[in-house]
Structure 1
Amino acid sequence: MRLEVLKNDCFYHIYNRGINGCVIFSNDDNKLFFLKKLKYFATNSFKVYAYCLMDNHFHLIIKVINETNITQQFSNMFNSYAKAYNKQESRTGSLFEKHFKRVQLKDEVYLKNLILYVHLNPFHHLNQDYKTFQFSSFASILSDKETNLPRLEVIDLFDNIENFMDCHLLKQEFLNEIYTLE
């Protein structure tokens, strides 16, 4: 399988899960540590537009701002997290599935739909309220607290904050209908 090369000024969906679907975040401290690593490694290389950390997988939507060694930086970040997690859990071996997955987002429609998908992950997988889920960028985008997320750029994709929230509600209603039909 040929892995997508990460290029400047392009958006990507970066995701992975625990090997064999195993847990990669045992507690909130693990998730906070992962976000701290993400912030550190993102500096000068990429911007995180959206994220969601579930117990056994994660999703990131990024825009590359400096492609130099970015794949290696992601690799270093995931390896660093895995080593710390393995030590904490007294485990050995791989934590993540082989290579982190990356898909280039070709247009704005795909980007907006993916932001909705990432934010609605807690609803989809855990039947939890995505608006209050602690380890998603949804609340950070709506908040007025300081963040490294390009909050205004994300809101501008949806034209305004009201439409940002409405699009999430409509997508959730759509998912509710699908689940009801199953």
Structure 2
Amino acid sequence: MPSIKNITPLQAGSYYHIFNRGINHQNIFFAERNYHYFLLLLAKNMTDAIDVLAYCLMPNHFHLIIRIKEDIEVPVDDKDPIPSRDRILSPQEITAHIPNQFRKMFISYTQAINKQEHREGPLMHPKFKRLEITQQEYLEYAIFYVHYNPEKHGIVKDFRVYSYSSYKAILSDSPTKINRSLVVKIFQGKENFVDFHNGWHTEKEAIVLE
């Protein structure tokens, strides 16, 4: 399996494995609506700036496989977001913009959970982890690994039936915020996508990518 590099910058055009967990391994999802709200925030805050290739949300942590877009537009004035006044961020600005958007998303999610659970303070680790993906082989495996996680952790007996991952969305024809076409292209077809997952699942020795 190719090597992976733990880095700080998130660069335009690159692929990443993003993950975070609850502080002291505490839960970050408490009810079904929490999983849906997290995905809603992801779509609202991030999909203009990233392609989401895979996700898996579990009670105390989550995984994302993403690609940073190269042409990211933002309003010139956040208080007056007129489309004609949008501008494209430079590569240097993208490196700062993506983490800030993630932080805003995590803060919004934490505030909602704190209100729901009558708690205070941070919910997740403040610095989410990211691993750059630089090779096709590793990209394919990382997508499998994210989907396999709920079975790996004993939440379900078969990862293919888990409700809070992107596995079924990639195989479906229903509308989705996942960049399904990019995932299918990476695996050179849905059949190969399924075969790859089945092949690694048969191995029963998933390499840990955390």
- TM-score, normalised on structure 2? 0.80
Show CA shifts across 1:144-178 (max 9, x none). 10112111210121111111111111111111799
Percentage of identical aligned residues: 41
How many corresponding residue pairs? 177
**Bigger radius of gyration among the two:** 2
Q: 1:43 to 1:128 in 2, by over 3 A?
A: same
Correspondence list, 1:142-153, <5 A: 142-153=171-182
Quick one: distance in 1 between partners of 2:16 and 2:171?
22
Quote the residue 1:22 is aligned against: 26
Q: Secondary structure at the match of 1:120?
A: helix
Cα distance, 1:4 vs. partner? 1.2
Quick one: distance in 2 between partners of 1:174 and 1:69?
39
Quick one: distance in 2 between partners of 1:136 and 1:177?
17
Quote the residue 1:84 is aligned against: 112
Contact 1:20 1:97 in 2 (8 A): no
Quote the residue 2:103 is aligned against: 75
Quick one: distance in 2 between partners of 1:63 and 1:176?
26
**Letter of the structure 2 residue corresponding to residue 161 of structure 1:** K
Q: 1:127 to 1:92 in 2, by over 3 A?
A: same
Which one of the candidate residues 134, 138, 145 is aligned to 2:163?
Answer: 134
Quote the residue 1:175 is aligned against: 204
**Letter of the structure 1 residue corresponding to residue 164 of structure 2:** F
Q: What RMSD, in angstroms, separates the aligned Cα atoms of the two structures?
A: 1.7
Contact 2:18 2:63 in 1 (8 A): yes
Show CA shifts across 1:16-71 (max 9, x none). 00000000000110000000000001232111110000000000011111326111
Correspondence list, 1:33-182, <5 A: 33-65=37-69, 66=72, 67=94, 69-125=97-153, 126-175=155-204
**Structure 2: unaligned runs, 5 residues or longer:** 1-5, 73-93
Cα distance, 1:98 vs. partner? 2.9
The answer as to 2:37 corresponding to 1:8 is: no
Quick one: distance in 2 between partners of 1:153 and 1:70?
20
Identify the range of structure 1 (60-69 vs 140-149) with the bigger mean alpha-carbon deviation.
60-69
Cα distance, 1:100 vs. partner? 0.6
**Letter of the structure 1 residue corresponding to residue 28 of structure 2:** I
**Structure 1: unaligned runs, 5 residues or longer:** none
Quick one: distance in 1 between partners of 2:47 and 2:38?
14
- TM-score, normalised on structure 1? 0.92
> Which 4+ runs in 1 deviate beyond 2 A?
none
Q: Secondary structure at the match of 1:26?
A: coil
Contact 2:7 2:132 in 1 (8 A): no
